Amino acid sequence: MKTMNPEVRGRGRRVGGAGFDPALPEDHSLIVAGVLRDQFQCLQAMIDAVPVVSGAVVDGVTTLPAGSPAEASAVLEAGALHFAFGIPQGMEGREGLPGEAGPQGPPFAQAVVDGVTTLPPGDPATVGVSFDGTDVHFAFGIPQGQTGAEGGSGPPGPPFAQAVVDGVTTLPPGDPATVGVSFDGTNVHFAFGIPQGAKGDPGDVSLEQLSLAIAGTSANSNAVQPLPFNATPNYDPDQFQAVIDKMNELIQALRR
């Protein structure tokens, strides 16, 4: 019966579940079931650990400057392979040859001024021109003139016939009085603002004294409505009760 060299036996058992060893089993050695089983189990674990790709997704494509190297990245997430690409822009081409002259454009019917804008004094004037296929459109910017010198005194105005008060406005107490004057060529118009007088001191009878004096009088009985019926010739308990209720209502209304 053939036996295994002890040195070979020791080398054949060194796997011991520590991981796959591509050097085992060694050449010209006996096959040991435990060693071979460990190798197969390690291979199975490595195969099971290989991720499964269920699909591919392009997350984005970025345009890079001309002359840059192209870029690509791939990441496996939840069974999907995600790609991101960077593609350089093409180099600017040479200028092309001049094209043929185009046909003569249609004549325009008229010129249209779209608007005139007033510019600050001293700014240069501007003009914008556009063509819509039929009409030429202009937009002008014209600077405002400089402020002129102060003029001299004018001739005496004509005499006016009368003065007219256009209105009087009541102002809050303490405000200064105001007056506005205008001339329409014939009449002088005035508009006055007169402040309201300040609140005066309380009178001889205070509010408390007035309330005490009123408390001793009867209240207003306007809310009590008259009875809606006349007396019957015979005794009517319902009618009599209605009179009693109305008297009670009147007494309550007159109380303060």
- Please write the tens of the pLDDT for every residue from 222-249: 777 887 878 788 888 887 788 888 788 8
Q: Tell whether 23 and 43 lie within a shared domain.
A: yes
Tell me what pLDDT residue 174 has.
Answer: 86
If one counts the domains in the chain, the total is 5
**Residue 136: which domain range?**
111-142
Question: What's the order of all strands across the beta sheet hosting 178-183?
Answer: 163-171, 188-195, 178-183
| Within-domain flag for 95 | no
pLDDT digits (tens, 9 = 90+) for 45-95: 888 777 777 777 888 889 999 888 989 887 878 778 788 888 888 888 888
Beta strands in the chain (DSSP E): 55-64, 71-77, 80-88, 111-119, 126-131, 136-143, 163-171, 178-183, 188-195
| Within-domain flag for 203 | no
| Within-domain flag for 93 | no
Q: Tell whether 17 and 39 lie within a shared domain.
A: yes
Q: Tell whether 42 and 62 lie within a shared domain.
A: no
* Burial (0-12, 13-18, 19+ Cβ within 10 Å), 15: buried
Q: Tell whether 36 and 66 lie within a shared domain.
A: no
| Interatomic CA distance for residues 225 and 247, integer angstroms | 11
| Within-domain flag for 181 | yes
| Within-domain flag for 96 | no
| Within-domain flag for 94 | no
Q: Tell whether 15 and 31 lie within a shared domain.
A: yes
For residue 77, what are its two tokens? 């997430």
pLDDT of 102 strictly over 60 = yes
| Within-domain flag for 71 | yes
| Within-domain flag for 102 | no
Are the CB atoms for 132 and 111 separated by under 8 Å? no
